[in-house]
Amino acid sequence: MVSVPSMTRLVWLALAAGWMGFLYYLSSQSVIGIDAIDSGSDSSLALRKLAHFLAFGLLALLSRWGLGQVGWRPSISVAAFAIPLVYAVGDEYHQSLVSGRYGAASDVSIDAAGAATAFLAWRFVEPLSSGLRFLGRTWSGR
């Protein structure tokens, strides 16, 4: 039987895998809703880049919580950062194979920035969340 902490980690990892599946689905589409707005406008470009930034920031946090949620351990953080980074490279390659889409190294940079920003934000928020309970886990900064 899986212990509660291990089960919690599995839930976070399952959420990360599900999020990657959703991103893969979006990458498989020739045109997605965000592209249909006005693909030539600056606001559409900014919205698409913001979506990349936020999507990979969320993936970084889900990965981090799945690999080891309590405290700030560099080895866990490096591994959790590698997951969205490697996925971003694969995602851009995948997009280059989809008709009407293209892969861009700048998107990988934006994805990495989103992941790094999410880690830094969580680094400062985690100690403040002491005593909160979510998915069977008490959040603490230690």
The pLDDT tens digits for 83-125 are: 999 999 999 999 989 888 888 899 999 999 999 999 888 877 7
The secondary structure of residue 97, as a DSSP letter, is T
What is the number of structural domains in the chain? 1
Residue 4 has pLDDT above 50, yes or no: no
The CA radius of gyration of the chain, in Å to the nearest whole number, is 17
Q: Helix (H, G, I), strand (E, B), or coil: what is residue 102?
A: coil
Look-up of token digits 């990458």: 27
Question: What is the extent of the structural domain holding 53?
Answer: 4-138
- Contact between residue 56 and residue 76 where contact means Cβ atoms under 8 Å apart: no
Is the pTM higher than 0.85? The answer reads no
pLDDT in tens, 61-92: 999 888 875 556 777 888 889 999 999 999 99
Tell me if 30 sits within 8 A of 99, measured CB to CB: yes
| Structure confidence by residue, pLDDT tens digits, 9-21 | 888 999 999 999 9
